[in-house]
Structure 1
Amino acid sequence: MDHKDHDKVFFANFGAVMAVLFGIFFVCIIAASWISGDEQMSPAAIALVEERIRPVGKVITDPAALVKVSASAASRAPYTGEQLNAQLCAGCHAAGVLGAPKDGDRAAWSQRLGAAGGIDGLVASVVNGKGAMPPKAGDASLSEDEIRAAVEHLLKDAGL
């Protein structure tokens, strides 16, 4: 068995394989250009593509711009206690999820009211978060007055 021509055989085979691959590559390029032709995209098609590749959001890293954007987002009418309870609080308090006192449960709410030190303590619990409830019940845009109104509404429903 002769070992002196292995390199020549390898390079000959490698060159042949590369030539075939480049030939297939150029045939694909020519076929693609022949299929697509010289068509120009219509303005409607261009608009559709632009809509599809439009950014979904915007990342703001400048602290001054962030304050300006968050201030404009907070310009909404304040929620009443009833609205906030229906939109946010009832998600957990209607069913008593993860130990949350249920709406209208006088015993549970009076126990929480006493343990927290009154309405101010309950409002502080909502603002800071308690147990599974995240701070401000998961909505950072809520003001302390809105939270107080929701707490008072829940206490009123419980008869306290």
Structure 2
Amino acid sequence: MDHKDHDKVFFANFGVVMAALFGIFFICIIAASMISSEEEPDPAAIALVEERIRPVAKAVTDPDALIKVSAAAAQREPLSGAQLNTQLCAGCHSAGVLGAPKTGDGAAWAQRRDAAGGIDGLVSAVINGKGAMPPKAGDPSLSEDEIRGAVEFMLKEAGI
């Protein structure tokens, strides 16, 4: 019977393979220790590596620092209703994304205006957010006058 000692043969072959792998491992360790040197690395090379791995930006989470940074932000000119509509509102209102009344749809805008209680209600809905629209349409730097201008522009475009 040839199959009588197959376990012994397997373990013998396995032991030989493992011994060969450990031998190769130790040869690599010895070769690496012979190749490497104990010299100090080049300071220019270290500086180059540190420059390459330097973070691109720093996240500031301290509320006091955020107030200082936001106060120092450059003041911009107020946007007109048409500019604000083009830059921000049209992204959703031109296609009616997630139930937003489409630009130029007089019936939908009249219904929204009446349900909100007039232009002041629509402006309040934009400031506070409505449905999928975030507060201030996602731009916290907008003033109430800019939002009112955009709402009036969109109502005018709808013929209201």
Same fold at TM > 0.5:
yes
Matched with 1:105 is: 105
**Range with greater deviation from structure 2 (74-83 or 96-105):** 74-83
Unaligned stretches of 5+ in structure 1? 1-13
Matched with 1:64 is: 64
Q: Normalised by the size of structure 1, how large is the TM-score?
A: 0.73
Task: Indicate the percent of aligned positions where both proteins have the same amino acid.
Answer: 62
Q: Indicate how the Cα distance of structure 1 residues 119 and 38 shifts in structure 2: closer, same or farther if over 3 A, else same.
A: same
Matched with 2:155 is: 155
Letter in 2 for 1:28: A
Letter in 2 for 1:89: C
Q: List, as ranges, runs of 4+ consecutive aligned residues in structure 1 with deviation greater than 6 Å.
A: 16-19
Q: Normalised by the size of structure 2, how large is the TM-score?
A: 0.73
CA contact (8 A) 1:93 1:101 kept: yes
Give the Cα separation in 2 of the matches to 1:151 and 1:52.
48
Letter in 2 for 1:110: A
CA contact (8 A) 1:126 1:135 kept: yes
Letter in 1 for 2:28: I
Matched with 2:25 is: 21
Q: Indicate how the Cα distance of structure 1 residues 86 and 50 shifts in structure 2: closer, same or farther if over 3 A, else same.
A: farther
C-alpha RMSD of the superposition: 3.1
Unaligned stretches of 5+ in structure 2? 1-17
Per the TM alignment, residue 38 of structure 1 is displaced from its structure 2 partner at its CA by 8.9
CA contact (8 A) 1:126 1:147 kept: yes
